[in-house]
Amino acid sequence: MKLDETEEMRDFRMTARTWLDTHVPEERPPAEGAASREFATAWLGALHEGGWAGLAWPEDYGGKGLSPETLLIWYEEYVRARAPSTLDCTFVALNHAGPTLIACGSDAQKAFHLPRILDGRAIWCQGFSEPGSGSDLASLKTTGRVEGDHLVVNGQKIWSSFADIAQYQELLIRTEPGSKRHKGLSWVICDMSLPGITVRPIKNMAGVSHFAEVFYDDVRIPLTEVVGGLHNGWATAMTTLGFERRTAAMALQLELSVKIEELIEMAGAAPRSAVSETLCDLRAEAAAIRAMTYRTVLREPETPFDGSLVRLAFAELAQRIHRAAADILGPEALTDGPWTHDYLESYSETIAGGTAEIQRNIIGERILGLPREARA
């Protein structure tokens, strides 16, 4: 599947390529902590100065309002230039907090937060999951009691990526006492420096702390920080997840094709050997993911749940590519190189943003029309 490029799109591609070739930093981003934040914000600052930040955002909010096709070209050039992964600490702010504020926020929220997100001044994290409420998000228990013009928040979130270095959090809490499931929730902007918040980083098996537990002990958040209406948080959260699952994943999907080419180069496998056959299969599968990405970008998905197909296929292929890399590297895979780190991180692909089992449930029930699983 190929893009039908107009002259204007070709010009855009060449301008993007030239800029990226001269601005992409040569060093690999630090894995965690303040150093990773400095690197990511410096890179976003450079993108912003060059006019390449917020490409999907509407022009009224400082973005470029690019069409999906042109955005696809940008990300093709982005991964070709081996630019830093888009899945860094600026990801939440740029790809779902900002777009959620644009869709559901008040004028004051937009005026304050959007410029700070676009130029990298504000890092955001997401506080949706709780111990016992991940796949089943509607069972969440963290509460926000209305007291005058404030919410008083108590409870715990977990797996909140970059919570240790973020200034703000998309916080989903239960604000209507006695409410059940998706009713009575609110989506709130939580200033991470407020008294009563404790952040405890969690180390993953790659040895880095990308995510954290966050504890809330009588945290007072002004009611003006509610986004999309008090007790209406489920609708706002679905808006957020819709952004997370759509354009935000484009670069990551296209990146797989680049990774497999790197692996082929690194392996130097003899033609018709077992290794070269594995690599050929993986290259074909990466091309299929690329085609699926094109399909969802270039025409409306056939069902609103097509994203689950791409998400599942991407996650499982990413793991297979990294497993193949570990096999090819042999004993070297036990050392602390970038492929080893990426191999260990790839295990999270079938968990983050909705597990593989949940994606299969969605595909089965919503796309194939199979009977729904029993609900408690």
Enzyme catalytic residues: 244
Identify which range of 34-42, 58-66, 226-234, 347-355 contacts ligand FAD by CB under 6 A.
Answer: 347-355
Q: Which residue's structure tokens are 């107009």?
A: 6
| Site size with ligand FAD, rule: CB under 6 A | 20
For residue 354, the minimal CB distance to ligand FAD (Å) is: 6
Question: Quick check: 208 binds ligand FAD (CB under 6 A)?
Answer: no
Helices (H) and strands (E) in the chain, counts: 12, 8
Three-state secondary structure readout of 237-257 = HHHHHHHHHCHHHHHHHHHHH
DSSP 8-state class, residue 139: G
Determine the 3-state secondary structure of 261 from DSSP.
Answer: helix
- CA nearest 54: which of 192, 236, 243, 228? 243
Q: Which residue has the tokens 């993986």?
A: 282
Q: Which stretch binds ligand FAD (CB under 6 A): 41-49, 157-165, 240-248, 270-278?
A: 157-165
Query: Directed axis angle between helix 274-298 and helix 306-329, to 10°?
Result: 160
Structure-block tokens of residue 226? 């509610």
Residues 208, 355, 366, 367: which binds ligand FAD (CB under 6 A)?
355
Q: Of 80-88, 218-226, 300-308, 354-362, which part binds ligand FAD (CB under 6 A)?
A: 354-362
236 binds ligand FAD (CB under 6 A): no
CB of 194 to ligand FAD, least distance (A): 18
**Options 361, 364, 365, 367; binder of ligand FAD; rule CB under 6 A:** 361
Residue 128 interacts with ligand FAD (CB under 6 A)? yes
Subset of 33-52 contacting ligand FAD (CB under 6 A): none
- 344 is an interface residue for ligand FAD by CB under 6 A: no
DSSP category for residue 169: E
Residue 161 as a binder of ligand FAD (CB under 6 A): the answer is yes
Contact indicator for 295, 313 with CB cutoff of 8 Å: no
Asked if 242 interacts with ligand FAD (CB under 6 A), we say no
Q: How many CA atoms lie within 13 A of 209 on its CB side?
A: 15
How far is Cα of residue 210 from the mean position of the Cα atoms in its chain?
Answer: 13
Which of 9-17, 106-114, 251-259, 350-358 is the region at the interface with ligand FAD (rule: CB under 6 A)?
350-358
**Does residue 348 interact with ligand FAD by CB under 6 A?**
yes
Q: ∠ at Cα 327 (29, 249), nearest 5°?
A: 45
* 314 binds ligand FAD, rule: CB under 6 A: no
Rule CB under 6 A: which residues touch ligand FAD? 125-129, 134-135, 159-161, 211, 348, 351-352, 354-355, 357-358, 361, 373
